Structure 1
Amino acid sequence: MSHIATILLLGSGELGREFVISAKRLGARVIACDSYDDAPAMQLADGREVFSMLDGEALRAVAERHRPDFIVPEVEAIRTEVLAELEADGFNVVPTARATQLTMNRDGIRDLAADELGLVTSRYRYAESLDEVLTAAEHVGLPCVIKPVMSSSGKGQSTVRDPGDLEAAWTYAAENMRGDRRRVIVEQFVDFDYEITLLTVRHAGGVSFCPPIGHRQERGDYRESWQPAAMTDAAIGAAQAMARRVVDELGGHGLFGVEFFVKGEEVIFSELSPRPHDTGMVTLVSQDLTEFDLHARAILGLPLPDDIRARASASAVILADRESDDFGFEGLADAMAEGADLRIFGKPMTRSYRRMGVALASGPDTDAARAAASSAAAKVRIAYR
Structure 2
Amino acid sequence: MGRLIFLGASPMQTPPIRYARQAGHHVITVDNRPDNPGHRLAHECHNVSTTDSDGVLALARQLDIDGIVAYASDPAAPTAAYVGNRLGLPSNPYETVQTLADKQRFRSFLEENGFNTPWSETFTEAGAAQEFAELLARPCFVKPADSSGSKGVSRVRGPGELPGAYARAEAFSRSGRVVVEEAIEKEGYQIDADAFVVDGELRFCCWSNQHTDPKCNGIVPAGISFPSTLSAEQRETAERHTQRLLDETGFRNGALNIELVFTEQGDLYFLEVGPRNGGNLIPEVNRYATGVDLIKYTVEAALGGDCRAIQPTPVSGFWASYIVHAQADGILERLWISDEVRERIVEQNIWASPGDPVRKFSGSQDTLGTMILRFRDMEEMLEMMDNMEHYLFAEVSPAKSA
**Fold-level match, TM-score > 0.5?**
yes
Whether the aligned pair in 2 keeps the contact of 1:145 and 1:189 (CA below 8 Å) is yes
State the SS of the aligned residue for 2:143.
Answer: strand
Deviation at 1:190, TM superposition (A): 1.0
C-alpha change, 1:137 and 1:202, in structure 2 (3 Å) is same
Matched, 1:189 2:183: yes
State the SS of the aligned residue for 2:392.
Answer: helix
CA RMSD of aligned residues (A): 3.3
C-alpha change, 1:95 and 1:40, in structure 2 (3 Å) is farther
Deviation track 1:139-170 (CA, whole Å, cap 9, x = no partner) reads: 43321111110122211111111122222221
In the alignment of these two chains, the number of paired residues is 375
- Relative to structure 2, which stretch is displaced further, 227-236 or 296-305? 296-305
CA distance in 1, matches of 2:22, 2:396: 30
1:378 alignment partner in structure 2: 392
TM-score calculated relative to the size of structure 2: 0.81
Whether the aligned pair in 2 keeps the contact of 1:12 and 1:40 (CA below 8 Å) is yes
The amino acid of 2:319's aligned partner reads: S
Matched, 1:36 2:33: yes
Matched, 1:260 2:298: no
Deviation track 1:178-204 (CA, whole Å, cap 9, x = no partner) reads: x2x111111111111221112221125
Matched, 1:201 2:196: yes
Whether the aligned pair in 2 keeps the contact of 1:200 and 1:243 (CA below 8 Å) is no
State the SS of the aligned residue for 1:152.
Answer: coil
Deviation at 1:20, TM superposition (A): 1.8
Matched, 1:214 2:212: no
2:149 alignment partner in structure 1: 153
Q: Aligned match of 2:16 in 19, 30, 47? A: 19
Matched, 1:293 2:296: yes
- Relative to structure 2, which stretch is displaced further, 290-299 or 121-130? 290-299
Deviation track 1:75-122 (CA, whole Å, cap 9, x = no partner) reads: 333494x6565344324264442233223321122222221x321121
- Relative to structure 2, which stretch is displaced further, 198-207 or 163-172? 198-207
2:286 alignment partner in structure 1: 283
State the SS of the aligned residue for 2:166.
Answer: helix
The amino acid of 2:183's aligned partner reads: F
CA distance in 1, matches of 2:65, 2:345: 38
- Relative to structure 2, which stretch is displaced further, 223-232 or 285-294? 285-294
1:68 alignment partner in structure 2: 65
Q: Aligned match of 2:75 in 57, 65, 77? A: 77
The amino acid of 1:175's aligned partner reads: A
2:324 alignment partner in structure 1: 318
CA distance in 2, matches of 1:65, 1:226: 42
Whether the aligned pair in 1 keeps the contact of 2:191 and 2:208 (CA below 8 Å) is yes
Deviation track 1:25-57 (CA, whole Å, cap 9, x = no partner) reads: 444332121221131322323322222234444
The amino acid of 2:3's aligned partner reads: T
CA distance in 2, matches of 1:216, 1:346: 22
CA distance in 2, matches of 1:26, 1:205: 26
1:357 alignment partner in structure 2: 369
Deviation track 1:314-355 (CA, whole Å, cap 9, x = no partner) reads: 12111256699xx99977897875141224276999752322
- Relative to structure 2, which stretch is displaced further, 241-250 or 89-98? 89-98
- Relative to structure 2, which stretch is displaced further, 58-67 or 254-263? 58-67
Matched, 1:173 2:178: no
2:43 alignment partner in structure 1: 46
State the SS of the aligned residue for 2:379.
Answer: helix
Whether the aligned pair in 1 keeps the contact of 2:196 and 2:255 (CA below 8 Å) is yes
Whether the aligned pair in 1 keeps the contact of 2:143 and 2:153 (CA below 8 Å) is yes
CA distance in 2, matches of 1:57, 1:295: 23
Deviation track 1:259-294 (CA, whole Å, cap 9, x = no partner) reads: 101223221111111111124153253231244234
State the SS of the aligned residue for 2:147.
Answer: coil
State the SS of the aligned residue for 2:190.
Answer: strand
State the SS of the aligned residue for 2:65.
Answer: coil
- Relative to structure 2, which stretch is displaced further, 205-214 or 218-227? 205-214
Gapped regions of structure 1 (runs ≥ 5): none
CA distance in 2, matches of 1:184, 1:93: 32
CA distance in 1, matches of 2:345, 2:77: 40
CA distance in 1, matches of 2:177, 2:261: 23
1:111 alignment partner in structure 2: 108
Whether the aligned pair in 1 keeps the contact of 2:285 and 2:320 (CA below 8 Å) is yes
- Relative to structure 2, which stretch is displaced further, 343-352 or 49-58? 343-352
CA distance in 2, matches of 1:113, 1:188: 15
Gapped regions of structure 2 (runs ≥ 5): none
Deviation at 1:306, TM superposition (A): 2.6
Deviation at 1:6, TM superposition (A): 2.1
State the SS of the aligned residue for 2:106.
Answer: helix
TM-score calculated relative to the size of structure 1: 0.84
